[in-house]
Structure 1
Amino acid sequence: MLQELIPFIDRHPILSVTWVTLLIGVILTFIKNYFSKVKEIIPTEAILMMNKQQALVVDIRAKEEYKKSHIIGSINVEKNNLKNNKLYELEKHKARPIIIVCAHGVSSLTFAKQLYKMDFQKIYSLKEGISGWNKANLPLAKGKKK
């Protein structure tokens, strides 16, 4: 097998470099996530935390998106509030587990990491956000809620 690998690399150097780069990227991502202080959780883990640990779900999407549909019991704290340092709503919940939710799980991870730097210790990000919640066919509330 190794005898076939060298000629393949000689014939396809760009493909080989691309493959190695992708492999390194995947490995580094796994290592980074493993040692991250903020963990990504799937919807079933979020439900368990909400029921057994009274985790607070914080939806950071825009108010309009939140009003259309949101996780039952969640509160809306727009991500701009972090930039403007308007997190008084969350300050009183520092000791509770907090699950950050966005549309697809990207902004929530960044927001959660920033909260961790602000001494919030039990911070989680919902993997794939509301879209992942929908894929799991879990209920969403409709209408305005604070």
Structure 2
Amino acid sequence: MISFSLKVIICLGLIMLISTLVGCKHEEVGTPGAQTKTQLSAQETQALIQAKKDDPNFIIVDVRTPREYQAGHIDGAINIDFYNPSFASQLEQLDRDKEYLIYCRSGNRSGKTYQLMTQKLGFQKVYHLTKGMIDWNRENLPLVR
């Protein structure tokens, strides 16, 4: 016969396992009924850009400096300099009904921008190239110079 304390330990273990499994969610880009994945690799970003290439409501935003932008950027991207004193006000002027893909060199500035847009400014549809142009270039994806 199993002792009471062993039963309690087994029950607690099962509860922890179930809550861990329930807490995990799998997200896919563009899967109907699933929550949209917003933190993207370079390859996922390229696939998203291809899927949205004819969508006028999809805007690509490069938050690097103008010099970095001119050295090479993703085709169709607009430049809003993270270090510009009016950066936040420029973001506030963007249409909240549109979808945005944001990126920088490494993902640091764009990560902060993602947080600002989604948590403070109320944007609902924002995608983030998490490792930035470093990952994009590593994958030899196209640039406009």
Q: Which residue of 1 aligns with 2:90?
A: 86
> Any runs of at least 4 consecutive aligned residues in structure 1 with deviations exceeding 6 A, and if so which?
none
Q: Which residue of 2 aligns with 1:97?
A: 99
Tell which has more relative contact order, 1 or 2 (C-alpha 8 A, sep 6+). 1
Deviation of 1:38 after TM superposition, in Å, equals 8.3
- From the superposition, tell whether residues 51 and 38 of structure 1 become closer, same or farther in structure 2 (CA, over 3 Å): closer
Unaligned runs of 5+ in 1: 1-30
> Are residue 77 (structure 1) and residue 56 (structure 2) matched?
no
Q: CA RMSD in A?
A: 2.3
SS of residue paired to 1:132: helix
Give the TM-score normalised by structure 1: 0.63
Equivalent residues of 1:38, 1:109 under 8 A apart: no
Deviation of 1:106 after TM superposition, in Å, equals 1.3
- Structure 1 residues 30-67: Cα deviation after superposition (integer angstroms, max 9, x where no partner): x9xx9xx9831012221222222333210000001101
Q: Which residue of 1 aligns with 2:10?
A: none
Equivalent residues of 1:38, 1:123 under 8 A apart: no
1:48-87 mapped onto 2 (5 Å cutoff): 48-53=47-52, 54=55, 55-79=58-82, 80=84, 81-83=86-88, 85-87=89-91
Q: Which residue of 2 aligns with 1:39?
A: 38
Q: Identity of paired residues, percent? A: 29
Give the TM-score normalised by structure 2: 0.63
Q: Which has the higher helix share?
A: 1
Distance 2:76 2:62 in 1: 10
Distance 1:61 1:106 in 2: 10
1:125-144 mapped onto 2 (5 Å cutoff): 125-142=128-145
Deviation of 1:105 after TM superposition, in Å, equals 0.8
Unaligned runs of 5+ in 2: 1-23, 28-35
| Aligned residues between the structures | 105
